[in-house]
Amino acid sequence: MSDTHDDVPVVNAGTIPVRPSKYQESLQDSFAKDVANQAGRMEDLAKILINLNLAIPALYGAVLKLTQDETSTISGVLILIAFTSWLVALGLAFLVLLPVKTKVNPNSIPALETYFATQALRKQKLVMSASLTTFFGICLVIFGLVL
């Protein structure tokens, strides 16, 4: 059955009438691109986390240096743990950007789907871990300032 036949019903895809086969092909293409780009979105988040994990300790260190005096009540242990957590978060964010060598059969659709899914899941776990570790460091700093 060809798309040029008049007996093929026309589907209204928004405001443009499209033949069902073209519509399905477009949806499948968009879905495939979305699946393939999931890991790229995690890499974008990792880049933001890297910037954040470089900026926060630098700003906090500058504030500590400017406000340091004899009556400073911030615990050195809390500061050390906070800076360590930011360093760990920075390392986790860098791991997202490092490629992992994997052998995949490019002619097998299930193998490609599995590859993209596992890459995205690995990067998602690393980004979530880095985010939580960054948040933990920020909470420690706030906790140290409140005490």
pTM to 2 decimal places = 0.73
Instruction: Provide the pLDDT confidence category of residue 10 given band limits of 50, 70 and 90.
Output: low
pLDDT of residue 106: 85
Taking only the tens place, the pLDDT of each residue in 32-41 is: 888 778 888 8
pLDDT of residue 72: 63
pLDDT of residue 1: 46
pLDDT of residue 128: 96
pLDDT of residue 16: 62
Q: pLDDT averaged over the chain?
A: 82
pLDDT of residue 90: 95
Between 21 and 90, the more confident residue is 90
Taking only the tens place, the pLDDT of each residue in 109-137 is: 888 888 888 998 999 999 999 999 999 99
First to last CA, the chain: 75
